[in-house]
Amino acid sequence: MQRIRLRYTKRGRLRFTSHRDFQRAFERALRRAEVPMAYSAGFTPHPKVSYANAAPTGTGSEAEYLEIALTEARDPERLRLLLDASLPTGLDVVDAVEARTSGLADRLTASVWELRLDGVEPAEAERAVAAFDAAPVVEVQRRTKNGVRTFDTRSAVAHLESVTTHGSPADRPSDRPCAILRLVVRHVTPAVRPDDVLSGLRAVADLAPPVPAAVTRLAQGLFDEETGAVTDPLAPDREAEAPEPHPAAASAAATASA
């Protein structure tokens, strides 16, 4: 059995697809591309696909990850091209590697987010960022299935800044003032989402964008405490050497070719 790890995106209007919608679209793409999928056992077999830390509905992403199990070996890049052609534009498969290490989910410990705040002056955003950074604790409330929960957002935010870059992948051009925030959020429990950070900015600096923020995940991976960087979670698989064939298997292959 071969395992392939894929990175895919949610761009443009496809950011509003739910995770379940994506699952259905991806399974259809697997059938169109005639991927030799491994299936689970039992009365209702389903393709062996493992999704890792999917972005919330309504947020764009440049860094979503999943892993598939195959019954026959395939070239990862060729498989990527076939799947990308079988998915709608906006759900794009942009990277593929053979899984040669374990623990992909364990390497997703932080995300880099971009928040486009249309109608907010950059100076106002910078003031709010400074107030958030200076606060030791920023508590917000979120309604859950078990009721309203209060938790701290400040401890999960490793970095927050207001940037002046243009050409954001958030895909929301506007003639009005626009502030762009870039933040690195650790994956903690309970999970702190970008909208929770916006609630925290409202609490400490009364920052209230006139329209909903356009949120895009730019990257996710292992958080480096020393540099503050979020590293590529597929890098260990690229760097790992392909395992040497077992002597008995190599001998059998040579005999078969002869």
Closest CA to 64 of 102, 28, 23, 30: 23
Q: Is the dihedral of CA 5, 235, 62, 181 positive or negative?
A: positive
Mean residue pLDDT of the chain comes to 90
Domain 108-231 is found in CATH 1.25.40:
no
- What is the model's pLDDT at position 165? 59
Task: Supply angle C-alpha 116, 142, 200, rounded to 5.
Answer: 45
- What is the model's pLDDT at position 170? 46
Instruction: Grade residue 242 by pLDDT with cuts at 50, 70 and 90.
Output: low
- What is the model's pLDDT at position 257? 47
In the predicted model, is pLDDT for residue 14 greater than 50? yes
Give Cα 72 to chain centroid, integer Å.
27
- What is the model's pLDDT at position 244? 56
- What is the model's pLDDT at position 53? 92
The rounded distance, in Å, linking the Cα atoms of 133 and 108 is 24
Q: Which residue has the higher pLDDT, 148 or 257?
A: 148
- What is the model's pLDDT at position 143? 84
The rounded distance, in Å, linking the Cα atoms of 196 and 182 is 14
| Segment 80-91 mean pLDDT | 96
Instruction: Grade residue 95 by pLDDT with cuts at 50, 70 and 90.
Output: very high
- What is the model's pLDDT at position 1? 86
The rounded distance, in Å, linking the Cα atoms of 113 and 193 is 10
Q: What is the pLDDT of residues 134-192, one digit of tens each?
A: 999 999 998 888 888 899 999 999 999 999 755 444 444 557 899 999 999 999 988 99
Q: What is the pLDDT of residues 64-74, one digit of tens each?
A: 999 999 999 99
Instruction: Grade residue 241 by pLDDT with cuts at 50, 70 and 90.
Output: low
Q: What is the CATH number of domain 2-106?
A: 3.30.70.580
> If DSSP states are collapsed to H, E and C, what string results for the chain?
CEEEEEEEEECHHHHHCCHHHHHHHHHHHHHHCCCCECECCCCCCCECEEEECCCCCCCEEEEEEEEEEECCCCCHHHHHHHHHHHCCCCCCEEEEEECCCCCCHHHCCEEEEEEEEECCCHHHHHHHHHHHHHCCCCEEEEEECCEEEEEECHHHEEEEEEECCCCCCCCCCCCCCEEEEEEEEECCCCCCCHHHHHHHHHHHHCCCCCCCCEEEEEEEEEECCCCCCEECCCHHHHHCCCCCCCHHHHHHHHHHHC
- What is the model's pLDDT at position 83? 97
Peptide bond into 210 cis (omega under 30): no
Are 2-106 and 108-231 equal in CATH topology?
yes
Domain locations in the chain as residue ranges: 2-106, 108-231
In this structure, of 172-176, 230-234, 253-257, the range with the lowest mean pLDDT score is 253-257
Instruction: Grade residue 50 by pLDDT with cuts at 50, 70 and 90.
Output: very high
| Segment 244-255 mean pLDDT | 50
